[in-house]
Structure 1
Amino acid sequence: MFPYHPQGYPFPYFNYQRVPHGYYYPPYSEGGWGWWHGALESDESRRLPEQQRLTFVLVHGSWADAHFWDGIAVVLRSQGHAVYTPEYAGHGTDPNKNVTHAMITKSVVDFIIKLNLREIVLVGHSFGGSVIQKVAEQVPDRIKRLVFWDAFVLKDSESVADELPPPTRQGFEQLRAGSKDDTIMLPFPLFRDLFVNTATLEEAKRFYTSVSPEPAKPLFEKLDLKAFYMLPTPKSYVYFYQDNVLPQGEGFGWNPHMSTRLGQFRLIVGDGDHFTDTRTRPDMVAKKLYEAGRD
């Protein structure tokens, strides 16, 4: 359904060794999303008063790794915030793609506990929304606020795949069946139209070099979320209204379809798509995440 022809997109891979160290905290070696070259952390004029500074833990979604957050993390740190970007099982350069949703959740929980992080603003993007739902069940006392950015908010006993339109789910099932390691690789035409629809073609091609096959199993696992829906943790939803990954209306979409499942929540909206703005406008994304996470 989504023909994938890797030989048709021979874009040179970016030299990720140039990403400044200390901007991410993966348990594996360096992955593939970072190409931020900003130099904001020394700009004292950007720093907020100490009482306004937050501790962010940023959890990426599918077809990405912890480098996804590099530019945003630089901006937030330049303002005085503490920012952590854990990598999780099956991603980055972890060679094992035979992972479960529970293994992914455990990666983030272990990271938070190991660093003894508290009063955190836990942010999940896309698939990362389902991850922070499960993380919140395990370490609720360490979380100040949950922030879902164009992210899945699954109902109890639901999988991420359950929230996909039938044609998209069928296409993913076909791609999964055709893989040799139970992964799903995004075809470039799908990535270009749904994930980076506001980017130029040149940008889209460059961004696509960072996309790697996604472990399929966690996308299709149904999650027990009864405990999540009992949590009193404050919640926010950040919605970029040009995000085209999920169709809007007809029982799908990010907002209000996902967001209203949170009960009482703070809504922050922005002009952007699913992936592009992390690279082209990290200041804007950082501003929205701060607005979602602040008191």
Structure 2
Amino acid sequence: MTRFVMVAGAWLGAWAWDDVAPELRAAGHEAYALTLSGLAEKQGVPAGQQTHVQDIVDEVERLDLRDVVLVGHSYSGVPVGQAAERTGDRLARVVFVDSGVPVDGESALDGFPSDHVRKSLAENGGVWPPLDPADYAGHDLTDEQIARMVADGTPHPGATLTEPAVLAHPLADLPATYVKCLLDGDELLPSADELVASGRWELVRMDTGHWPMFSRPRELARILVESATRS
């Protein structure tokens, strides 16, 4: 049995995994979804990037989990990757779902063209507002799914995006799977592409958009389970 700890990306909370967690449990595994500080039901809690790293480490230790697969989607791949190396022998694998990956000394915004995000942070008091419904078009989502993401999404704390990552060891040392969602583009971010190209990380492609926990929850759960067997 594998224990999955799943963390969604910007604007989202634990609720984003509502359709994935039951699939994992039905397959005989434990599944825990985590809301990061400053988001969803934790909105208003001050948070920087290292706060989010500690959120993840604390959850693993609080639940006293072993053989843990950490799952980071989108933004959360950056704190999840840092938390992974701090969980020691509790870790079985990391799965990065169409996400950023941490680069020591660089922020989450350094890994992609992000001037529009920085501008938004400056214009909105240091938070990144949730997307508009039109921004979700073309990502294999139903109108109902988009409506829920818009209604339940909360502003993302900007310091988590601008603070630098801190890594003690090369990220390639982690046992990892990278899931690329093809409707979000078929090219990986340079930092992730380098790690996958090294041959030490597994690459899995999904023919869906950037939010597969909504668009393809059963398929994503299957990929998570299969990746755990490679640990």
Same fold (TM over 0.5): yes
The structure whose RCO (Cα within 8 Å, separation 6+) is larger is: 2
| Distance in 1 separating the partners of 2:18 and 2:34 | 12
Runs (5+) with no aligned partner, structure 1: 1-52
Please list, as runs of the form range in 1=range in 2, the aligned pairs for 1:196-211 lying within 5 A after superposition.
197-201=139-143, 203-211=145-153
- Give the drift of 1:81: 0.6
Q: CA RMSD in A?
A: 2.2
| Distance in 2 separating the partners of 1:92 and 1:203 | 17
Pair 1:292-2:227 in alignment: yes
Change (3 A) 1:97 1:161: farther
Change (3 A) 1:97 1:178: farther
* Corresponding residue number in structure 2 for 1:186: 130
- Give the drift of 1:279: 2.5
- Cα contact 1:267–1:292 (8 A) shared by 2: no
Please list, as runs of the form range in 1=range in 2, the aligned pairs for 1:55-94 lying within 5 A after superposition.
55-94=3-42
Change (3 A) 1:135 1:236: same
| Distance in 1 separating the partners of 2:205 and 2:14 | 23
| Distance in 1 separating the partners of 2:2 and 2:89 | 16
| Distance in 1 separating the partners of 2:216 and 2:165 | 34
Alignment coverage as a number of residue pairs? 228
| Distance in 2 separating the partners of 1:158 and 1:217 | 13
Change (3 A) 1:147 1:178: same
* Corresponding residue number in structure 2 for 1:214: 156
| Distance in 1 separating the partners of 2:48 and 2:64 | 25
Please give the secondary structure, in 2, of the residue aligned with 1:237. strand
- Cα contact 1:153–1:261 (8 A) shared by 2: no
From 194, 197, 202, give the equivalent of 1:260.
194
Query: CA deviation digits over 1:244-275, x for unaligned, max 9?
Result: 5xxx55xxx44x75143254011121111112
Please list, as runs of the form range in 1=range in 2, the aligned pairs for 1:243-254 lying within 5 A after superposition.
243-244=184-185, 253-254=188-189
From 175, 197, 205, give the equivalent of 2:120.
175
- Give the drift of 1:204: 2.6
| Distance in 2 separating the partners of 1:69 and 1:202 | 16
| Distance in 2 separating the partners of 1:200 and 1:187 | 16
Change (3 A) 1:108 1:70: same
| Distance in 1 separating the partners of 2:203 and 2:33 | 23
- Cα contact 2:73–2:97 (8 A) shared by 1: yes
Change (3 A) 1:65 1:260: same
Please give the secondary structure, in 2, of the residue aligned with 1:209. helix
Please give the secondary structure, in 2, of the residue aligned with 1:96. coil
Give the TM-score, by structure 1 length. 0.70
Runs (5+) with no aligned partner, structure 2: none
| Distance in 1 separating the partners of 2:225 and 2:103 | 26
- Cα contact 2:69–2:93 (8 A) shared by 1: yes
- Give the drift of 1:142: 0.7
Identity %: 29
- Give the drift of 1:235: 1.3
Give the TM-score, by structure 2 length. 0.88
